Amino acid sequence: MTARFYGVELSSPLMLGTAQYPSPDILRDAVQAAQPGVVTVSLRRESAGERAGQAFWSLIRELGVPVLPNTAGCHTVKEAVTTAHMAREVFGTEWVKLEVIGELDTLQPDVFGLVEAARILSEDGFKVFPYTTEDLVVAERLLAAGCDVLMPWGAPIGSGKGLNNIFGLRALRAHFPDVPLVVDAGIGVPSHAAQALELGYDAVLINTAVAKAGDPAVMARAFRLAVEAGVLARVADPMEERDMAVPSTPVAGKAMLA
């Protein structure tokens, strides 16, 4: 059960965010329970928050999980590009989850700024993971800008609403069969994650649903199992939906009572 991005194979298709946990110990327990393929870290938010300083960075390194820095909290191309360069220096990786937020209530991506920032960073050697919508035209632009991965949202960040636009996500998967796709944002419970992988997505990124759970470590384990179930279900080739009932027990050749 692995996932491959930019030629690198991750141990799991579960990506786990590191923000909003009640304490460093709870974060550590959640990561150990989830066994994610990568953890994401917001340079801007962690540097400005209560966990600023070397303690948080030391904890992330001690976890022994690959790091995907992100540009969460950035609202302009300049902010996002500057933050990405800072993250590359801090974490020594060219991978970056690119966020350029355009609308405050929904935290919807500014797709115009996103494409521009993706082009700038790709030309500078970054391996960009763009947080985007399920729009096919935007996806085309991002791929043309140098992205080899797309991260469409399931629903607004932190909403827990799951996969709001199944049609759009299916269309994106069908339109780009060879592009690694990650459902990012809006996943609230493990069944949402399983559903995303059953649709053919390569990975899911979870943060709030684990960090804000009553027991983050237990929820993290639940997501790990859900991801495994989703991958196995996809590999097993699920039955097609039907409009009418079909008896599971054949009646042909059976005795009938008058």
Residue 125 region by backbone torsions, left for phi larger than 0, else alpha for psi between -120 and 50, else beta:
left
Beta strands 38-42; 95-98: pairing state: unpaired
Residue with tokens 């933050």: 83
Please state the residue numbers annotated as binding site: 158, 185-186, 207-208
Is the pLDDT score of 257 beyond 80? no
The model's pLDDT over 170-184, given as tens digits with 9 standing for 90+, comes to 999 999 999 999 999
Q: Distance between CA atoms of 221 and 210, rounded to whole angstroms?
A: 9
Q: Which residues are catalytic?
A: 97
Local structure of 1: helix, strand or coil: coil
**pLDDT confidence of residue 249:** 76
Q: Which residues contact 190 (CB under 8 A, 6 or more apart)?
A: 219, 222, 223, 225, 226
Mean per-residue pLDDT, 92-120 = 94
Q: How many CA atoms lie within 13 A of 183 on its CB side?
A: 33
Is the pLDDT score of 255 beyond 80? no
Task: Map 142-163 to HEC letters.
Answer: HHHCCCCCEEECCCCCCCCCCC
Q: Provide the mean pLDDT of the chain.
A: 91
The model's pLDDT over 190-214, given as tens digits with 9 standing for 90+, comes to 999 999 999 999 999 999 999 999 9
The model's pLDDT over 16-71, given as tens digits with 9 standing for 90+, comes to 999 999 999 999 999 999 999 999 998 765 554 444 556 777 888 888 899 999 99
pLDDT band at 103 (very low <50, low <70, confident <90, very high): confident
**pLDDT confidence of residue 53:** 54
Please state the residue numbers annotated as binding site for 1-deoxy-D-xylulose 5-phosphate: 158, 185-186, 207-208
Q: Distance between CA atoms of 152 and 209, rounded to whole angstroms?
A: 17
**pLDDT confidence of residue 44:** 65
Local structure of 14: helix, strand or coil: strand
Portion of the chain with pLDDT greater than 90, in percent: 77
Query: Containing H/E element for 233?
Result: helix 216-235
**pLDDT confidence of residue 61:** 84
Query: Containing H/E element for 2?
Result: none
Contact of 31 with 54, CB cutoff 8 Å: no
Is the pLDDT score of 110 beyond 70? yes
Q: How many CA atoms lie within 13 A of 141 on its CB side?
A: 16
Fold exhibited by the domain 10-236: TIM Barrel (3.20.20)
**pLDDT confidence of residue 253:** 61
**pLDDT confidence of residue 256:** 60
**pLDDT confidence of residue 129:** 97
Q: Distance between CA atoms of 212 and 188, rounded to whole angstroms?
A: 10
Portion of the chain with pLDDT greater than 70, in percent: 92
